[in-house]
Amino acid sequence: QVQLVESGGGSVQAGGSLRLSCTAPGFTSNGCGMDWYRQAAGKQREWVSSISTDGSTVYADSVKGRFTISKDKAKDTVYLQMNSLKPEDTAMYSCKTSITSYTLYSDYESCASWGQGTQVTVSS
């Protein structure tokens, strides 16, 4: 299991921006992808965005056009740039490694790890 550490959360007014970071040492060399999820109070966990080992990205419709996922392979770090934030974006944001076509069988377990989360609060 790799150790995932998120940072960058905080409080911001509507329309503002935050950049979240998720560092998972070795995830790039292990062939892991990276996902961002969020869970608002009283709601189910929601998938937000994913980036694969080849750099391809996908987004939930709710954040498309406002959020951008990227990575720095040398630093084993994934970023989630969040712009034009809305109160409904308020949630605990967590990153998770994921299995991709590049993942070796021996690394499957390490590509299924969660971080502890970072809180994002957007006020109106």
Q: Please count the other Cβ atoms lying within 10 Å of the Cβ belonging to residue 90.
A: 17
pLDDT at 102: 85
pLDDT digits (tens, 9 = 90+) for 31-58: 899 999 999 999 999 999 999 988 999 9
Closest C-alpha among 9, 14, 18 to residue 124: 14
Structure tokens at 89: 């974006």
Where does the pLDDT of residue 3 fall: very low under 50, low under 70, confident under 90, or very high at 90 and above? confident
**Is 74 exposed, middle or buried (CB count within 10 Å of its CB: 0-12, 13-18, 19+)?**
exposed
pLDDT at 1: 62
Asked if pLDDT for residue 2 goes beyond 80, the answer is no
